[in-house]
Amino acid sequence: MAAHVDVKRVVEAIKALRTIERKHLTKKPVRNILDEDTALEHDVYLQFTLKKIPYNKSAQWIKINLPHSLTNDKAEICLFTGDLDKKDRRADSELTVDHYKEVLADAGVTRNIEIIPLRQLRTEYTPYESKRNLCASYDVFLGDSKILPLLHRLLGKTFFAKNKLPRRVDLSSKHLRRDIEAVLSSTELPLRGEGTASTVKVCNLAMSDADAAENVMAACEALACRLPGGWQNVLSLHIKTQKSPSVPLYMSFGSRNAIRLPKPREPDDDVEGDLTTIPGARVTVKRSGQVTLHKAAKDLTDETLGDRRLRRLLEIQEKSAEETTHKFDKKARCRKLLIRSTMRNKKSRKNRRLKAVKLPAPQTKTAKTKKQATKPKKKAAKQK
């Protein structure tokens, strides 16, 4: 468990990070008055290395509850909400902003939270530049639980790369203030099955040594419980800021062969069974959810009424399959035609550019004859 990490060593490592940041400030000239204050409030990350890579294909999010919040009262928070009038696309978004501001005020939320409705996000923040500016302008992003699946698709890779995806908040909860504070005092770790090293934000240098050490120990306990393979799978632990070197906390010398990782659940096979409503018919359900009908053995197809129904259903199934193949063929033909037209346009543009370039005019024969005529005269003059 996390008892392998010594608290005194954690406190010494945090003090070492503070001295590194102060030395960096003395070497680097301060351009702005605010830089001196913000430099000592840098975030501290817990960097850990695993012995074995987990088997998960997609990112596994591990939520870590911290005893001390990472965001102070001055932090800028953005809250994504749904629209009050969902049918009218031209409805004013200020009404929804005012409504949710009243909801937060009634719940007793005193933090600096700016509200962006879903319609405003779709209209004003569609370009890549605007999304990047939005990601950089706020410290924390929250999202209503009703629209959270839409937000991950709309915000895109810029928020995922910066680990600033909106966190889930239930705006219809009776204890809204407590839920928001619980979300702000937690951090999330995206554990990907691509490598052994990962980092998670656990504290900042503005905290006291005791508070920062408590956050680091809480993160270690959560990793010991939630990591695939448990604490035995942890090879090393370090803490660092964004630009400082990493300070070691823990190192394991155990063998990686003794670790047993939980294997992912294999997908179920296709399920096949009899259709009770139509005699002589069988149904197969594939992994994708597609349902197909087919005939059973001959000895089971005795009733003519069931045979007629089955034939009719099979004909409908064949027609639908033909329609889907026809649609796919049509799309493929359209793509081929578009590719050919673009290639022709490129060739025509190249030909036009070549015609527009003026080639140097060749020398005429008269000029050559004049030069040849003048040369022997000069030689004759020299001989005289």
Give domain status of residue 217, yes or no: yes
Give domain status of residue 95, yes or no: yes
* 74 and 209 co-located in one domain: yes
Give domain status of residue 330, yes or no: yes
Give domain status of residue 354, yes or no: no
Model confidence band, residue 333 (pLDDT cutoffs 50, 70, 90)? confident
Domain enclosing residue 276, as ranges: 271-346
- Short-list 35, 48, 43, 38, CA closest to 17: 43
* 217 and 276 co-located in one domain: no
Tokens of 239: 């803490």
Dist. CA 372–CA 368, nearest whole Å: 6
* 340 and 191 co-located in one domain: no
* 165 and 298 co-located in one domain: no
* 47 and 121 co-located in one domain: yes
pLDDT in tens, 264-304: 666 666 677 776 666 667 777 776 667 777 776 654 444 44
Dist. CA 69–CA 218, nearest whole Å: 12
Q: End-to-end alpha-carbon separation of the chain, Å?
A: 112
pLDDT for the residue 372 = 52
* 141 and 218 co-located in one domain: yes
* 182 and 275 co-located in one domain: no
The pTM assigned to this predicted structure is 0.63
Dist. CA 308–CA 278, nearest whole Å: 9
pLDDT in tens, 193-252: 778 888 899 998 888 999 999 999 999 999 888 888 888 989 999 999 988 899 999 998
Query: Is residue 309's pLDDT more than 60?
Result: yes
Instruction: Report phi then psi at 189, rounded to 5.
Output: -115, 115
Give domain status of residue 154, yes or no: yes
- Short-list 133, 114, 136, CA closest to 125: 133
* 294 and 252 co-located in one domain: no
Give domain status of residue 316, yes or no: yes
The bridge status of strand 234-240 relative to strand 43-50 is: antiparallel
Identify the CATH number of the domain in which residue 11 sits. Answer: 3.40.50.790
* 182 and 222 co-located in one domain: yes
Domain closes at, from 231, 257, 283: 257
Strands (E), the chain: 43-50, 60-65, 77-81, 113-117, 140-144, 167-169, 186-191, 197-204, 234-240, 247-251, 271-274, 281-285, 291-295
pLDDT in tens, 56-92: 777 788 889 999 988 888 889 999 999 888 777 777 7
The bridge status of strand 234-240 relative to strand 247-251 is: antiparallel
Instruction: Please report how many Cα atoms fall inside a 13 Å half-sphere around the Cα of residue 374, on the Cβ side.
Output: 6
Number of compact structural domains in the chain: 2
Give domain status of residue 283, yes or no: yes
* 281 and 249 co-located in one domain: no
* 318 and 175 co-located in one domain: no
Give domain status of residue 279, yes or no: yes
Query: Is residue 33's pLDDT more than 50?
Result: no
